[in-house]
Amino acid sequence: MKKKILYGLLIIFVIIQFFRINKTNPPVNSADDFIKMTNPPQEISVMLKTSCYDCHSNESTYPWYSNIAPVSWWLKHHIDEAREELNFSKWSTYNLKRQDHKLEEMLEEVEKGEMPLKPYPLTHPEAQLTPKQKKELKLWFKKVRADINKPQEKEELQLNNGEKWITNTETNVGIKNFIAIINNQNLDFSNKGENLNTEMKRIFAECTMQGEAHNQLHLYLLPMVKMFRELKESETYSGAILKQTEIKQHLASYETYFK
């Protein structure tokens, strides 16, 4: 009888291995990412990547046991829930109130030792935070929260002592591609927004600029991340036309500040 039960369980175990989880990560737009937006010190970035991003971002790296059901099902469900609760890859899409609330929750989780979840460091020992690391991480979260809550002074684009900022070739090509996409009469508004967003990702990925020129370029590019998303998600024709006009006007100002 025991053998029959064992054989039955073995057969069930083999069968469920055919029900695989989807390990495809959602697309990542670096301009929306928490680390990209807050620019933490290198050690903080490493902590976030090793202890948080596997579950709370669109950059999950699935371990070997994600190939074994039913553990794989539990893992996939946990990652989906974690992303729903907090997704560092979508940080810019949260309004300031939600960002503040999430930072408050992060502070509490680190303080209580509830993040990362206790089972996670068992297979990822590098994710275990030391008391010193927890202190540094909490200080960073507090700093970001303070920056969010202080009166916002809008930074404005400035010239380089009266001269235009010199940008890299990839950025100049990207701006030309933006203009070509927005003027393409064969694309609907949703596809324009999607193509513009794809080109923006390429610009961020290939950016080699540094210093104040880099900072000024970000001031110019970041507003367009939101514009492109709103164009793609426009629900009315008139709304899409207005957003397209706004994008065209913004693109027209590029040569005023950059070359």
Model pLDDT for residues 249-258, shown as the tens digit of each residue:
999 999 999 9
Identify which has the larger pLDDT, 181 or 8: 181
Angle, vertex CA 36, rays to CA 30 and CA 40, nearest 5? 160
Q: What is the pLDDT of residue 151?
A: 64
Residues facing 163 on adjacent strands: 160
Confidence of residue 215 (pLDDT cuts 50, 70, 90): confident
Residues near 140 by Cβ (< 8 Å), separated by ≥ 6?
40, 41, 44
Percent of the chain with pLDDT over 90: 30
Whether residue 121 is predicted with pLDDT greater than 90 in this model: the reply is no
Q: What is the pLDDT of residue 136?
A: 92
User: What predicted TM-score, i.e. pTM, was given to this entire model?
Assistant: 0.57
Q: Cα–Cα distance between 258 and 204 in angstroms, integer?
A: 16
Q: Cα–Cα distance between 75 and 70 in angstroms, integer?
A: 9
109 to 92, 134, 138: CA distances (angstroms): 21, 10, 10
Which uninterrupted H or E stretch holds 32? none
Which uninterrupted H or E stretch holds 118? none
